[in-house]
Amino acid sequence: MDNDLQQPLITHLTELRDRLLKAVLAILLLAVALFPFANDLYLLVSEPLLKHLPAASSMIATEVASPFLTPFKLTLTTAILLAMPVLLFQIWAFVAPGLYQHEKRLLFPLMFTSTALFFLGILFAYFAVFPLMFGFLTQAAPAGVAVMTDISHYLDFVLKLFFAFGLAFQVPVLTILLIKSGISSRQSLRQKRPYVIVGAFVIGMLLTPPDVISQTLLAVPVWLLFELGIMASRFLPQKPNQTPVSS
């Protein structure tokens, strides 16, 4: 009996190991391919700040290994992001056999949408938020203070904001899951709209620098994406004991 129980467990662990190895291999291959362009990647990421630095200023490296380690860290992070479709496919292939058919129909679109929204959040931060935010922050420096940002600190700051905006753009997926699981309803979420708006600005205050521009540029999309999630939930199939709620 014990052998009968151990055999499926060993089979699942072996499959999990194989899929993890494939995911790690995809990341390593992308990292190796991107490594020759590490400095170019960093230049691309730092461009929103460099455009707003005074003519006599530049970015600096305060640690001996920073000129190498910082672009390398960015390259590895970029490789993980680019390998996300492979990672998600491996996760899907591992869990799909244990799912019901209706769960499969819901999970795959949600995984695809969640990934697309995460990348959209990163692009929004880079093209819409960074130019305004760095323009404000560099101009806010007191007289006599030279703005010379450390490359390692800048990368940590940028990655934090990328991650914050990527997560914030998951609001439609979270909204749909709340409604689909029955934890909440469209009507209930609409009634909570004022609290969601306040919460969006609180999140913007906690995750972005202390300036109104960047806080608003995070809070407003969170609110709009919440509304998008409510509208998209109207297209979810209704359970037999559910009656559609008009919007």
% of the chain at pLDDT higher than 70: 92
| pLDDT score at 241 | 45
Q: Which two tokens stand for residue 198?
A: 């306040």
Sequence letter at residue 43: L
| pLDDT score at 39 | 95
Tell me how far apart the alpha carbons of residues 184 and 190 are, in angstroms, rounded to a whole number.
Answer: 10
% of the chain at pLDDT higher than 90: 36
What is the band of 83 on the pLDDT scale with cuts at 50, 70, 90?
Answer: very high
Structure pTM?
0.83
What is the band of 145 on the pLDDT scale with cuts at 50, 70, 90?
Answer: confident
Q: Judge whether residue 112 has pLDDT over 80.
A: yes
The mean pLDDT value for 203-230 works out to: 84
Least confident of 7-21, 47-61, 118-132, 156-170: 7-21
The mean pLDDT value for 3-10 works out to: 63
Q: Give pLDDT tens digits for 53-67.
A: 887 788 999 899 999
Q: Is 30 helix (H, G, I), strand (E, B) or coil?
A: helix
The mean pLDDT value for 149-156 works out to: 94
With 0-12 / 13-18 / 19 or more C-beta atoms within 10 angstroms meaning exposed / middle / buried, residue 80 is: middle
Tell me how far apart the alpha carbons of residues 137 and 134 are, in angstroms, rounded to a whole number.
Answer: 5
Q: Which two tokens stand for residue 163?
A: 């991650």
With 0-12 / 13-18 / 19 or more C-beta atoms within 10 angstroms meaning exposed / middle / buried, residue 181 is: exposed
- No. of H helices and E strands in the chain? 11, 0
What is the band of 176 on the pLDDT scale with cuts at 50, 70, 90?
Answer: confident
Tell me how far apart the alpha carbons of residues 84 and 98 are, in angstroms, rounded to a whole number.
Answer: 22
